Homo-oligomer: A and B are copies of this chain.
């Protein structure tokens, strides 16, 4: 036998932390490729979706709800205003805050991105049955819930 470590189990293929990271990398690549065709990235979608569902919000609130780092929100909102998809205005009731509002163009972009992401999910989950997809959702949700928000 020339095996350098006879009988040793393969480490990498069994590392759950590694499997998670590999699956996420592949998923992220599909997401980025799809969103790039619409001149967007994942934080754009997170902001547009949050505004559509929960209404206008301050940048701090958007950071909380989307998971975008506090210091990175500015750049994302800058990009979205440049594209005319959100509007930034000072909040007269609390002049520390800005009020971010979804525009009509932002709403159109959101429904566009919704379609793109639905297709990506189908492609990502192609090897899984409907039941397995639900299992995966529950397991990942349990992990994320248990390990709280990162900020």
Contacts and interface: CB of A to CB of B under 8 A. Distances in A.
Interface of A: 2-5, 8, 10-31, 42, 46, 49-50, 52-55, 66-67, 114, 117, 120-121, 124-128, 132-133, 135-137, 139-147, 150
Given A11-B114, A24-B24, A53-B11, A140 B16 contact: yes
A136 B4 CA distance: 30
A146 B127 contact: yes
Kindly report how many copies of this chain are found in the complex they form together: 2
Nearest to A10: B53
A21 to B, nearest CB: 5
18 contacts: A3-B53, A4-B52, A4-B54, A4-B55, A8-B53, A12-B66, A16-B124, A17-B31, A17-B124, A19-B144, A20-B23, A21-B28, A26-B147, A124-B147, A127-B142, A128-B142, A135-B139, A136-B139
